[in-house]
Amino acid sequence: MQKNIEDFVIHPDIHWVSVGNERLQIRQPNGDNITFDNYANEIKNVLERLKNPLSKTEVVDEDIMDQVLEILFSKGFLSNKNVNEFQFLRIADLNQNDRIKYKEKRLPKSVFIEGNGNLVKVVKESLINSKIKINENDNPNALKIVVADQDSYSLLSAENEKSVIKNQSVVFFRWISGKFRIGPFVVPGETACLECAYQRELASNLFADEMKAYMACDEKELPKYEGGPVLDNLAAALITREIMLILRGDYEIAGTSTIVTLDPLLLEIKHSSILRVPRCKVCSKGAQKPSRNYRNLVQESNN
């Protein structure tokens, strides 16, 4: 297919370096670089023209141009539309996993925020700034975000159950013992749910009785999120990243069946995978039929 250089813009987050006149390397954030051993100058002219379409100083070789455009296009380095205003989304565009998309018709377009407290205010403000559509009426097609200032088992598990029954995708975000915890992102009928996570943790915990006592704690006794500098910004970044990825269909990067815990002091991040509990009292009641198995979809895309 013939491509016209004037119709494209080059991704602003990639760049190129030359080694003498012989070699040219195109570099991108994920480290998947392309090195050319021939025609380095001619290729450079094409790249410069793409970067500054108005400059006509470089003499562009037509044959080289066609081939370079093909390569750039296949790598997703060229865009024939306006580039995204948010750099994070542009970097996500370059990720190889970008091709593993969740293409389900039920991909949410907006979010509904459940909860109240300090963290909810932070989340709402950040999502509005990120131009994410907030649904006020808990439309079941909207992605539900359950936000809690405390690790309240009763509140979180009730929301988990409600979402599974309604067949609504949900993600949990909360403050727990001086850390942020995000996840799991639950797609009912397809992924593990929050109850699966609790059951797995109970089964593997050496102090199961203590954990049960903790889960039964009165909310008033649990430490609460107050926020302030550092914490509010980290919280906003964490949840906004997660929601942007989910709304794009980047479920593989957003991480279904995963819980991420971030220690804001040490900047340590722990990823815990959760397997679905076959007899989970919430998500394996048989009411939800998976409309399409997510794991199979990932496998198909990998082939």
Q: What are the residues binding Zn ion (CB under 5 A)? A: 193, 195-196, 280, 282-283
- Closest approach of Cβ 281 to Zn ion, in Å? 8
Our CB check for Zn ion shows the closer of 102 and 198 to be: 198
Q: How far apart are CA 41 and CA 60, in angstroms?
A: 10
Distances (CA, A) of 30 to 80, 228, 287: 22, 33, 41
Q: Which residue has the tokens 């906003």?
A: 236
Our CB check for Zn ion shows the closer of 193 and 247 to be: 193
Rg of the chain over Cα atoms, rounded to whole angstroms, equals: 23
Q: Which residue has the tokens 């990639």?
A: 14
- Closest approach of Cβ 162 to Zn ion, in Å? 13
Runs of H (alpha helix) within the chain: 40-51, 62-74, 87-94, 118-129, 153-166, 194-204, 208-215, 231-248, 251-254, 294-302
Our CB check for Zn ion shows the closer of 10 and 280 to be: 280
Which residues partner with 18 through β-bridges? 24
**Sheet of 143-148, strand order:** 111-114, 143-148, 170-176, 179-186, 258-263, 268-273
Our CB check for Zn ion shows the closer of 118 and 169 to be: 169
- Closest approach of Cβ 193 to Zn ion, in Å? 3
Our CB check for Zn ion shows the closer of 198 and 251 to be: 198
Our CB check for Zn ion shows the closer of 259 and 280 to be: 280
- Closest approach of Cβ 138 to Zn ion, in Å? 21
Residue 117 CB burial class (10 angstroms; 0-12, 13-18, ≥19):
middle
C-beta neighbour count of 238 within 10 angstroms: 20
Our CB check for Zn ion shows the closer of 40 and 192 to be: 192
Q: How far apart are CA 171 and CA 2, in angstroms?
A: 44
- Closest approach of Cβ 211 to Zn ion, in Å? 17
- Closest approach of Cβ 231 to Zn ion, in Å? 30
- Closest approach of Cβ 266 to Zn ion, in Å? 31
- Closest approach of Cβ 274 to Zn ion, in Å? 9
Our CB check for Zn ion shows the closer of 95 and 257 to be: 257
Q: How far apart are CA 273 and CA 225, in angstroms?
A: 25
Coil, helix or strand for 181? strand
